[in-house]
Amino acid sequence: MSEKLQKVLARAGKGSRREIEKFIEANRVSVDGKVARLGDRVEPNQSIRLDGHTVKIEEPEERICRVLMYHKPEGELCTRKDPEGRPTVFDRLMRLDDDRWIAVGRLDVNTSGLLLFTNDGELANRLMHPKYEVEREYAVRVFGEVTTQTLKTLTTGVELEDGPAKFLKIKPHGGEGINKWFNVILTEGRNREVRRLWQSQDVEVSRLIRVRYGDLELGKRMPQGGWEELNLTEVNYLRKLVDLGRETETKLSVIPEKRKDKRAKISRIRKAVKKHKQRTPVKKRT
């Protein structure tokens, strides 16, 4: 049975569907020696190449779906490689044999917090798609006058350059003077949407941290630059959110962690973060 080309490549871990569509438009993909076009469908026995390299096509059940939770620091780019040599969110992640991590959405360079990665392109695509309305929660520090009317406007809806947008909820979290903290919730991940919503009310965001994705919360003890792999229950929670079937296998131990094991794991993560900082050269400014 034929399938859409971008779906097959996403399942093979070559990127999200949106990324792959860009690859196709840039004539980087071929099928049986012919340059592919958007909308092409492929059969299991056809030869697919990306940038001249043969892509190993897998049936859906062949891959074990894996997901990482990463605590992104400010200053890292959500790209695989940066021409200027700046740090990226992929630099610290463990490498996969014959596979690769796909970022679920993006956080801009000045935003920190929870970022998910998966080797399953279909899962990544659905988690990013606004159709599934997966909640994202951010802690945000703003600078400016915030009135009751401001909050009402932001939850009712404002018109941005790429269409209407709003927060589902806004929860005050203290602060002094015109520097205040709020937790905001929305169900889509448009570029810089949280910042642009506040800017529409003449309020500037001075700090932005993603603290929750769906029901998955960023652990308070997870250091910036640290990551951990989600267990089978957590992976299946994400898959159920976007109407994908359950996974039955995991690369992790299925034995429940004891408290001392959890403490030891956090200690290992902190050591790994420190080691990475020590071996990463500081780029000199010119």
* Chain segment 1-42, per-residue pLDDT in tens: 788 898 888 877 787 778 889 999 999 999 999 999 999 999
Write down the catalytic residue from 32, 51, 82, 108: 108
- Tell me the pTM: 0.78
Q: Count other C-beta atoms under 10 Å from residue 252's C-beta.
A: 14
Q: Is 126 exposed, middle or buried (0-12, 13-18, 19+ CB in 10 A)?
A: buried
Same domain, 125 and 232: yes
Q: Work out whether the CA dihedral 102, 106, 108, 114 comes out positive or negative.
A: negative
pLDDT band of residue 204 (cuts 50, 70, 90) is very high
- Look at residue 280 in the predicted model and tell me its pLDDT: 62
Q: Work out whether the CA dihedral 187, 266, 72, 94 comes out positive or negative.
A: negative
Does residue 59 form part of some domain? no
**Token digits for 44?**
């299991």
82 catalytic? Reply is: no
Same domain, 222 and 267: yes
Same domain, 220 and 126: yes
Does residue 256 form part of some domain? yes
State the CATH number of the domain containing residue 178.
Answer: 3.30.2350.10
Rounded Cα distance between 91 and 103, Å, is: 13
Rounded Cα distance between 231 and 225, Å, is: 20
Let me know: does 112 contact 229? Beta carbons within 8 Å: no
**Token digits for 99?**
């596979």
Does residue 94 form part of some domain? yes
Same domain, 125 and 252: yes
Same domain, 209 and 221: no
**How many angstroms separate the Cα of 101 from the Cα of each of 13, 116, 184, 199?**
7, 10, 28, 33
**Token digits for 77?**
């780019």
Same domain, 143 and 202: yes
Same domain, 140 and 181: yes
Does residue 180 form part of some domain? yes
68-114 pLDDT tens trace: 999 999 999 999 888 998 999 999 999 887 788 999 999 999 999 99
Same domain, 95 and 160: no
Let me know: does 5 contact 24? Beta carbons within 8 Å: yes
List % helix, strand, coil for the chain (3-state, nearest 5).
25, 25, 45
State the CATH number of the domain containing residue 41.
Answer: 3.10.290.10
Does residue 21 form part of some domain? yes
**Residue that is last in its domain, among 174, 198, 213:** 213
Say what percent of the chain tops pLDDT 70: 90
Same domain, 103 and 226: yes
**How many angstroms separate the Cα of 238 from the Cα of each of 126, 214, 228, 245?**
10, 8, 16, 10
Q: How many domains does the chain have?
A: 3
- With CA atoms as reference, report the closest residue to 229 among 275, 268, 260: 268
Residue 185's domain spans which residues? 135-213
Does residue 60 form part of some domain? no
Say what percent of the chain tops pLDDT 90: 62
**Residue that is last in its domain, among 193, 213, 233:** 213
pLDDT band of residue 176 (cuts 50, 70, 90) is confident
